[in-house]
């Protein structure tokens, strides 16, 4: 009974490249959240998705960042033209339904931009 799976665990990109972070929610969960944790800071909400829908993207930077959760396959957080300031830990969490306060977190992806 796998938990929330994120890959890769570590991702190194050079400035200007694209980063794709993947998150497979727990079995039976249809809601996914992405959080970002910058060095020395707390977790900041980025986006909340349901299958094929973006519910709340109020925490997403206006440019270069996008997220999707297709009908089939994992949720993807995509960062285009990465900059050094994008270096952070990106955590995904899932829940079984709408507005369910019990979130299950993945182990995170550590993105390092050179």
> Which residues of the chain form beta strands (DSSP E)?
5-7, 10-13, 19-24, 31-37, 43-50, 53-56, 65-68, 75-79, 88-95, 104-105, 109-113
Residue 90 in the binding site for another protein (CB under 8 A): no
Stretch that binds another protein, among 18-26, 31-39, 67-75, 76-84 (CB under 8 A): 31-39
Residue 42 in the binding site for another protein (CB under 8 A): yes
**Beta bridge partner(s), residue 43:** 37
Q: Which of 5, 43, 54, 76 binds another protein (CB under 8 A)?
A: 43
Q: Are strands 88-95 and 31-37 parallel, antiparallel or unpaired?
A: antiparallel
Stretch that binds another protein, among 19-27, 68-76, 79-87, 106-114 (CB under 8 A): 106-114
**Nearest-approach distance from CB 21 to another protein, in angstroms:** 14
């Amino acid at each position: 009974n796998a938990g929330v799976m994120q890959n890769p665990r570590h991702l190194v990109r050079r400035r200007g490249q694209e980063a794709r972070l993947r998150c497979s929610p727990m079995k039976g969960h249809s809601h996914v959240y992405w959080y970002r944790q910058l060095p020395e800071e707390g977790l900041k909400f980025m986006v909340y998705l349901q299958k094929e829908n973006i519910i709340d993207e109020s925490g997403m930077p206006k440019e270069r960042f996008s997220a999707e959760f297709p009908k089939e396959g994992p949720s993807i957080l995509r960062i285009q033209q990465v900059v050094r300031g994008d270096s952070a830990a990106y955590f995904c969490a899932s829940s079984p339904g709408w507005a369910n306060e019990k979130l299950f977190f993945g182990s995170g992806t550590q993105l390092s931009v050179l």
